[in-house]
Structure 1
Amino acid sequence: MTKIDDHIQSFDNHQRDKRIKKYLNLFLALVISSSLYIAYIIRYTNASNKITQYSSGISYETYHYGLLKCEEIKRIKPDNNQIQDRRRNPRFVPGTKDILFKNARILDGIGHDFLGDILLKNGIISEITNIDENDIKKNDINVTDDTVMIDLKKKFVTPGLIDMHSHAGLLSWPFLRATNDINEETDPLTPFVRVKDALNPSDPAIRIISSGGVTTSLIIPGSGNLMGGEGHVIKMRNVSTLSVVDMGINYGIDPSEEKEWRWLKMACGENPKKVYALQDRIPTTRLGEGWLFRKKFQEARDHFKRQNDWCDSASKLSSNNNVQLDSPFPEDLQYDSLMALFRGDARLNIHCYETNDLEAIINHSLEFNFTITALHHALDAYRIPDIIKRANSQITIATFSDNWGYKKEAFQASTRSPKILADAGIPVALKSDHPVINAQHLAFEAAKAHHYGLDEKLSIASITSVPAKALGLNHRIGQISIGYDADLVVWDSHPLSLGATPLEVYIDGIPQFGTPNSVLSGKSKCSKGSSAQNEPVKEKGNERTASSVVINNIGKIFVDKDTILEPNNNSSVKDENISMIIKDGLVECIGNCAISNHNSSEMIDLNGGYVLPGIVAIGASLGLIEIDLEPSTTDGFVPIINHPDSVDQVMKAIDGLKFGGKHLDVAYKAGVLSSITSPLSFGLIKGISVAFKTGSHTVLDEESIIESETALHVQIGTLFKNAYIPSVSSQIGLLRRTLLKAVFKPTKRNIYSKVANGLVPLAAHTDSKDEIASLIRLKQLVKRHGGDLRLVIIGGAEAHLIADQISKNNVSVVLSPSRPVPSLWTAKNVLTGSPITNTTGIEILVKHKVKVAIGVDNSAWTRNLVWDAGWAVTNSKGLLDEKDAVALISWNLEEIFNLNRKKLNNQGLNKGNIANFVAYDGNPFDLHTKVKLVAGGGRKDILIDPIQD
């Protein structure tokens, strides 16, 4: 029993010890817990210290930041379309005077056209009053004593124009390496870079662009990358702070009242392929583009889901104040802009051309559930309206009116595209892609689209209300309505008429160019037929040919520089009817013709239209290039000549001519019946140009070549420096040695001898006044040594600065382009015209009696030469007339390059000549007029009702 008792006693002692230890542990735990609790109470009731750790994960501060991000994500953003009774423009500058426009012809941007008064107050359009046809006001606008009152006398007023695709400030004028910030081409996927971090507010282009009536621009990265980055919408008004933020459309807005949009830029197709093929990295094909797009969108969507999951989990824990997530809110700056896209806070603008590219990007948007706002360029969009409508929202097509052909994906463009898209219910915006097109002339894009069939109201909307809506800003810009920003343009003529120019531009109610009120209240610019008309575009199928025609009811015939026929203006015309008879390609009669004997010929009633001699083009590469970026479609570039003895290396353009291409066909149908084309080169000596008829079949055609050695072309300037000739002075020096050698040792077959002795012109391509001056010195030097240099300047942007010397030395100038821009350091001093300058370069040259003509440096715009000439006349303030306009694109060029009637093989408008002319159904210097008939240009048949496709 004792052992048993001992065991029992031992067990009891053990149990007692365990109980004691248990109670002791419980006691200790209670003490520790109490201490921690007391420490917690003390710590978190102290307002000066709120950092804590609920768990071993993240700080309360980090967790709270995540909760705020979730609140921001879930917060319902303002709907700008619901904003009414807007009374505040955050960009208003205190001290800006109220302005009352009286008797304005208002084109409001949303389809209305009426006479009325407009009050600008506090940076917004404060009141609008309609006026009936009898000028009896329905209501008067009450104004203060210091309100500026301007009677516009029925001048046209539009909203400020909106350019939704521009690179102004990223690729500044003049072009310099230091200011080229258009593409971050180190990776094809850079959605995270931002324009507002790079934009140059001092780009001279900003003021020049605004002088054309553009008051708002979307500045976006270029198209080198698939995902190019985030754009920035700015008002085209310089601010005193030089702040990019202050120029922004979102400056000063209240995000709780107005949604603060962001704008993204992406691109597909040829451009990213080309950039990264040079780097030998993906994408080099559309296959690679598609993969990278989907890969990045998938990464972004995964990140999007992680954020949503975190917020959902945090929301479920919100009821328990003692519990939090142990990981931070998932945030990665590289996905920030894509998160804005997925959450509907950013508007996506995508550069795409081809049908397959357009469809691919729409498919990506459906797969990853994001919205495309606008497809830019999109020159193939007119071919696939049904595919565009498959998108999950309405897409705007931001396109060109007639820029085409520079690469394959732009080759199948159509001038009818805006009309086709509009007829399909797809919004169309016209944009510049500045500096591809000088955005100063954005209205001209809309005017050309109207010429090719787009309704007048839609044409105005394409540069006002349509882009405003696409940018998400149609609550404050893009139309003339009460409460909208005071962005207005007062025009000297209908904005869709040729050469229409702003008299004054108002941004946020501030006049930008200081135009005197007397000018705004003065007489309107008037030109025959200048009002825009909505004539339907010709559909395919109307175009036809004939061997003989009778043209009746002609309003005016420009026979040559000495003869113009028009009713009641020529003694040889005995009645009101001027007519022409063309028989088997020859001019049988012109003037007062007996047309009753020609019933077998097709009768063309011109209804007062004009007849012009065939237009001559120079500057474009017609016949040598079909698609600029496709070497297999071009003649190629000639070797660089770096020695005066390299006579045999001077190439002739005639040897590389290719006829029948699309560029030649388009030019021919526009009445451009002759072209002066020089070889392609990056060096000083371009080669020998050829003058030929654009409608010819081959160089073997009878009379297809007008002059096989038209001129020797040279290129002077920094753009043509190379390893062999590294300076401009080297270029001039080589030219001097070459020409002087040709004077001292003349050789009949030597092209330099022909040039030095005046048998062939020297056509020098340059813009700088100083380079032109050096060439004039060279001409004088050659003359002192017995030569005779016939110098022609092609380009001539700064020629007006030495117009007196150009005239004195009998130098001719071919302005190319006719409206130059300060894109080069050596061409900074161009005159951009009203309202910035009171005159233009062409006017100064004409006043100094310089022989002037107009060239074209873009093959796509060769068909616009007659408009370029008309533009020069319209804005010359009476200095030039219609005859001068014709001279700029026909007989002046024939005289400059000695393409006399003998060399033209007796073509022209005189009786017995080979017919070579273009006839219009109205005044060709008005944009609503269309080509009715083309005769000559190397073709035997006469083309009637040609269609510009």
Structure 2
Amino acid sequence: MHSHMGVDAAPSLQGNDDTNSLKNAVLPWLRSLDGFNTHDLAFNLSISGGITTMLVLPGSAGNIGGQAFPFKPRWTYENTPQSMLVEPAFVIDNGTWSRTHAWRHIKHACGENPHRVYGNTRMDSAYDFRRAYTEGKELKEKQDRWCKSPKTQTEPFPTSLEWEALSDVIRGNVKVNIHCYETTDLNTLVRISNEFQFPIAAFHHAHEAYLVPDLLKQAWGPEPPAVAIFSTNARYKREAYRGSEFAPKVLAEAGLSVVMKSDHPVLDSRYLISEASFAHHYGLNTSLALSSVTTHPAKALGLDHRIGYLREGYDADVVVWDSHPLTVGATPKQTYIDGIPQIIKPVLHHKPAQVQKAPPTGKWDKEAREAVEARGDPDLRPKKSSKNVIFQDVSDFHLFDQLGEKLQVDVSAFEEGKGSVLVQDGEITCAGNCKIPEGLDFDFELVDLRGGAITPGFITVGSRLGQIEIRQEKATADGTALDPLDEGFEITDGLLAHAVDGAQFGGKDELLAYRSGVTTAVVSPKSSSFFSGISFAFSPSAPHPLSHGAIQNSNGALHITLDNSKTSVSSKIAILRRLLLGDVQEETELSEVLKEVAKGKLRLVVNVDKADSIATLIRLKNEVAHKAKITVLGGQEAWLVADELAEADIGVIVAPVRSYPGDWDSRRIIPSVPLSNHTLPSYLVSHGVTVGLGIVEEWQARNTLYEAAWVYASSPPGVFTKRDALDLVGKNLETLLGLKDGHHRHSYEGESQGGWVAHEGDVFSLGGKVKAVRGVGQVAVDLF
């Protein structure tokens, strides 16, 4: 229900960016249809994820961005944008441009976007809306007066190319979709809808709608607006800061229609079903979760008379799934649009019986209530900790390698699903068939994992977690590091930023990641060009940099970016070659660090996607730095040189995990099932490459486990065991990020066991839930 497919096409290039017009904040006369690109690489990908209809909206730079159109992403014989429309509001009929009875659609936006792009404060935006609708109202009134006595009129029927769409809104012929986040903006648009008497089809994004559900019911019209939202994507700007994963549950319980959306390509609409899955995991019941991407958006679009249901006489838009759609890794076996199969020779993997039924609806009543009572800003810090815990009903124990020979483990107890784990003074002292020793004079917390598991803590890398709180607010960030290649600096100046010096703690994304099992986060300085600087590893639960265990590794790896953003790739390679050879007249910190890289004493992490650039990096290592330990971060096209990467012992941290051809350097992807046999991680692993999983934005850190679970569920059988999948976000990343290389590494009491996580239920399904975390270097277990 919220897509920019075709107007924000993949791969993104200057010549195909038709999302926004920047000529005015009010542009109701523009139409997304006129910028719709039928060559968008996302069409087949979205079809392979079960998408059969999409409302393609103009962007949200201005208050009224233009008119939107519902499309079906199937190819037609005519192969034109017009032929892909679901129900055109205007058609060419016998050579005449005429109106049909179909709904029209329009996009509005309020809040920060018009403020950022046009300098419109919220007061300016409210005035712009009222001024525009006054024009539409005046046109409607002129038309009504003309229609009262058409035979007596001497002037043509009054019309306006600019304002006729708003006149039609007031007549009730247009579905109004409003990009709107905060309470104040929601309130303004509700007032304007009543002032000019038009219904609102849906508020989109609406991160604070769950805090004011009764406000939405005051909008003009017989039914309140639907609410089209993300599941866990929040905090990327100030007006999204109070977004909650419990919003779908709260809104549904308030009687509002919940729609899950992608805002494609903000999220790849191919995985729209994942948004519904997360909503289900966080409390939306099974029926409403499925309806949130089928029936509810169809009704909000005014198309529920032909799509959104499996009914006789309806469009045969049908998806046949390989497992229950709300399970991790659920994949279409086939997508039918208008009865026509869309996926040519789909690749299928067998799915076990347990994923053929819906996972249980998540039980989060307490947490949802706290989020509302705190007005979107609940205390996310652990409320309870204990040094002494006994976990019961444990089915899996994944700490064998971590604990080594120090602990005798009764494997049979776990195999029978009756295992227990004993923690004394913060250390695991027994695993298998454990009982509290007699004679102890302290209490134990008893935690029932209900068939769950104990796993190593997870590691996150790839975002700016730990250096920024709100991505679009510079005041909340460390800022951009000076690059040795920037204007005014010479290579010999050797200025090199250390991310640890800009460390920030206590942010929402850090704490949510910790509550989801992430015990280590790695971040490098933000760079605008080539050399980013030195990364560091930290505990996302720590309150400040000097607290015990906060900094786990202050000198992790040297990070660079290998693209042509400011300086050519060839120039960057030339500079890197010179520094690796030590061919400089004056010693600097940068040159000294590159010597360490050349000797293999400090890892080099290279942010790069393009296969050609990765190949150049491989050649550089073979020619001048045989001992160098190199990791690719990103690596969307790495599969094209998988054998060469394995031979050169260069590992890859795949980020994002689910490949998308978003730009020119990442357009040649492995699409994964049902379009290919492999995921990118499984293909690389099957060719002998060491692989880890990374993220792109800070909010994604909390979903680290589920990305590993998705890789496990979507890869060919036999490539990964469950422990292998966990290593993708654990042990492998320790190696690929140089966390065990010994550079300025701190040592903490109890670190021999590292971080670990206790999960209730199945770790590899959305039915699981983190119940306890022991952070790296901590002596107590945090209980949730």
Fold-level match, TM-score > 0.5?
yes
Q: Distance in 2 between matches of 1:782 and 1:187?
A: 54
Corresponding residue for residue 377 of structure 2: none
Corresponding residue for residue 55 of structure 2: 218
Q: Distance in 1 between matches of 2:447 and 2:412?
A: 24
Corresponding residue for residue 900 of structure 1: 740
Q: 2:464 aligns with which of 618, 621, 631?
A: 621
Corresponding residue for residue 730 of structure 2: 890
Mean Cα deviation higher: 171-180 or 255-264: 255-264
Q: Distance in 2 between matches of 1:270 and 1:938?
A: 41
Q: Distance in 2 between matches of 1:503 and 1:818?
A: 21
Q: 1:734 aligns with which of 567, 575, 581?
A: 575
Q: Distance in 2 between matches of 1:356 and 1:619?
A: 34
- Alignment map for 1:716-795 (pairs within 5 Å): 716-718=562-564, 720-721=565-566, 725=567, 727-741=568-582, 750-783=592-625, 788-795=627-634
Task: Give unmatched runs, 5+ long, in structure 1.
Answer: 1-163, 278-282, 319-323
Question: Equivalent residue of 1:166, what SS?
Answer: coil
How many Å apart are 1:579 and its aligned residue? 2.3
- Alignment map for 1:669-684 (pairs within 5 Å): 669-684=515-530
> Is the Cα contact below 8 Å between 2:327 and 2:355 reproduced in 1?
no
Evaluate the alpha carbon distance shift between residue 289 and residue 503 of structure 1 in structure 2; reply closer, same or farther with a 3 A threshold: same
How many Å apart are 1:529 and its aligned residue? 8.8
- Alignment map for 1:10-29 (pairs within 5 Å): none
> Is the Cα contact below 8 Å between 1:644 and 1:734 reproduced in 2?
no
Corresponding residue for residue 48 of structure 1: none
Letter of the 1:717 counterpart: D
> Is the Cα contact below 8 Å between 2:57 and 2:68 reproduced in 1?
yes
Task: Encode CA deviations 1:883-920: one digit per residue, 9 max, x unaligned.
Answer: 11110000111122343398574788xxx845621111
Evaluate the alpha carbon distance shift between residue 942 and residue 572 of structure 1 in structure 2; reply closer, same or farther with a 3 A threshold: closer
Task: Encode CA deviations 1:662-699: one digit per residue, 9 max, x unaligned.
Answer: 11111111110101110011110011100111122222
How many Å apart are 1:605 and its aligned residue? 1.4
Q: How many residues align?
A: 754
> Is the Cα contact below 8 Å between 2:524 and 2:536 reproduced in 1?
yes
Evaluate the alpha carbon distance shift between residue 526 and residue 646 of structure 1 in structure 2; reply closer, same or farther with a 3 A threshold: farther
Runs of 4+ residues deviating >6 angstroms? 252-258, 562-569, 571-576, 742-749
Max radius of gyration: which structure? 1
Is 1:203 aligned with 2:46?
no
Q: 2:158 aligns with which of 317, 325, 330?
A: 330
- Alignment map for 1:627-638 (pairs within 5 Å): 627-638=470-481
Corresponding residue for residue 375 of structure 2: none
Q: Distance in 2 between matches of 1:817 and 1:527?
A: 28
Evaluate the alpha carbon distance shift between residue 242 and residue 573 of structure 1 in structure 2; reply closer, same or farther with a 3 A threshold: closer
Letter of the 1:704 counterpart: A
Question: Equivalent residue of 2:289, what SS?
Answer: helix
Corresponding residue for residue 372 of structure 1: 200
Q: 2:242 aligns with which of 412, 415, 418?
A: 412
Is 1:549 aligned with 2:377?
no
TM-score by length of 2: 0.91
Question: Equivalent residue of 1:673, what SS?
Answer: strand
Letter of the 1:290 counterpart: A
Evaluate the alpha carbon distance shift between residue 882 and residue 524 of structure 1 in structure 2; reply closer, same or farther with a 3 A threshold: closer
Letter of the 2:450 counterpart: N
Question: Equivalent residue of 1:289, what SS?
Answer: helix
- Alignment map for 1:534-613 (pairs within 5 Å): 534-540=361-367, 544-547=383-386, 548-561=388-401, 570=411, 577-595=418-436, 597=438, 600-613=443-456
> Is the Cα contact below 8 Å between 1:261 and 1:345 reproduced in 2?
yes
Evaluate the alpha carbon distance shift between residue 374 and residue 496 of structure 1 in structure 2; reply closer, same or farther with a 3 A threshold: same
Q: Distance in 1 between matches of 2:157 and 2:129?
A: 26
How many Å apart are 1:382 and its aligned residue? 0.3
Corresponding residue for residue 374 of structure 2: none
Evaluate the alpha carbon distance shift between residue 807 and residue 647 of structure 1 in structure 2; reply closer, same or farther with a 3 A threshold: farther
Letter of the 2:104 counterpart: R
> Is the Cα contact below 8 Å between 2:324 and 2:356 reproduced in 1?
no
Task: Encode CA deviations 1:103-140: one digit per residue, 9 max, x unaligned.
Answer: xxxxxxxxxxxxxxxxxxxxxxxxxxxxxxxxxxxxxx
Q: Distance in 2 between matches of 1:338 and 1:459?
A: 33
Evaluate the alpha carbon distance shift between residue 900 and residue 379 of structure 1 in structure 2; reply closer, same or farther with a 3 A threshold: same
Q: Distance in 1 between matches of 2:572 and 2:754?
A: 43
Letter of the 1:478 counterpart: G
How many Å apart are 1:381 and its aligned residue? 0.3
Question: Equivalent residue of 1:327, what SS?
Answer: coil
Corresponding residue for residue 671 of structure 2: 832
Is 1:507 aligned with 2:334?
no
Evaluate the alpha carbon distance shift between residue 626 and residue 711 of structure 1 in structure 2; reply closer, same or farther with a 3 A threshold: same
Is 1:340 aligned with 2:168?
yes
Evaluate the alpha carbon distance shift between residue 529 and residue 901 of structure 1 in structure 2; reply closer, same or farther with a 3 A threshold: farther
Evaluate the alpha carbon distance shift between residue 671 and residue 332 of structure 1 in structure 2; reply closer, same or farther with a 3 A threshold: same
Task: Encode CA deviations 1:123-180: one digit per residue, 9 max, x unaligned.
Answer: xxxxxxxxxxxxxxxxxxxxxxxxxxxxxxxxxxxxxxxxx10000001111101000
Letter of the 2:161 counterpart: L
> Is the Cα contact below 8 Å between 2:182 and 2:239 reproduced in 1?
yes
Evaluate the alpha carbon distance shift between residue 173 and residue 433 of structure 1 in structure 2; reply closer, same or farther with a 3 A threshold: same
Corresponding residue for residue 382 of structure 1: 210
Mean Cα deviation higher: 796-805 or 559-568: 559-568
Is 1:844 aligned with 2:714?
no
How many Å apart are 1:600 and its aligned residue? 1.2
Letter of the 1:627 counterpart: I
How many Å apart are 1:703 and its aligned residue? 3.2
Q: 2:545 aligns with which of 699, 704, 713?
A: 699
Q: Distance in 1 between matches of 2:684 and 2:537?
A: 25
Q: Distance in 1 between matches of 2:646 and 2:410?
A: 33
How many Å apart are 1:837 and its aligned residue? 1.9
> Is the Cα contact below 8 Å between 1:747 and 1:753 reproduced in 2?
no
How many Å apart are 1:250 and its aligned residue? 1.4
How many Å apart are 1:744 and its aligned residue? 10
Is 1:532 aligned with 2:341?
no
Mean Cα deviation higher: 621-630 or 703-712: 703-712
How many Å apart are 1:574 and its aligned residue? 11
Q: Distance in 2 between matches of 1:872 and 1:460?
A: 23
Q: 2:136 aligns with which of 300, 308, 326?
A: 300
Evaluate the alpha carbon distance shift between residue 571 and residue 921 of structure 1 in structure 2; reply closer, same or farther with a 3 A threshold: closer
How many Å apart are 1:330 and its aligned residue? 1.4
How many Å apart are 1:536 and its aligned residue? 2.5
How many Å apart are 1:863 and its aligned residue? 0.7
Evaluate the alpha carbon distance shift between residue 907 and residue 856 of structure 1 in structure 2; reply closer, same or farther with a 3 A threshold: farther
Letter of the 2:576 counterpart: L
Task: Encode CA deviations 1:383-404: one digit per residue, 9 max, x unaligned.
Answer: 1011111012321001111100
- Alignment map for 1:10-409 (pairs within 5 Å): 164-250=1-87, 259-277=101-119, 283=120, 285-314=121-150, 318=151, 324-393=152-221, 394-409=224-239
Q: Distance in 2 between matches of 1:472 and 1:287?
A: 32
> Is the Cα contact below 8 Å between 1:654 and 1:690 reproduced in 2?
yes
Letter of the 1:728 counterpart: V
How many Å apart are 1:240 and its aligned residue? 2.3
> Is the Cα contact below 8 Å between 1:551 and 1:579 reproduced in 2?
yes
Letter of the 1:471 counterpart: L
Corresponding residue for residue 869 of structure 1: 708
How many Å apart are 1:226 and its aligned residue? 0.5
Mean Cα deviation higher: 572-581 or 801-810: 572-581
Q: Distance in 2 between matches of 1:485 and 1:831?
A: 31
How many Å apart are 1:939 and its aligned residue? 5.2
Q: Distance in 2 between matches of 1:562 and 1:711?
A: 23
How many Å apart are 1:940 and its aligned residue? 4.9
Letter of the 1:559 counterpart: L
Task: Give unmatched runs, 5+ long, in structure 2.
Answer: 371-381
Letter of the 1:680 counterpart: K
% identical aligned pairs: 37
Letter of the 2:687 counterpart: H
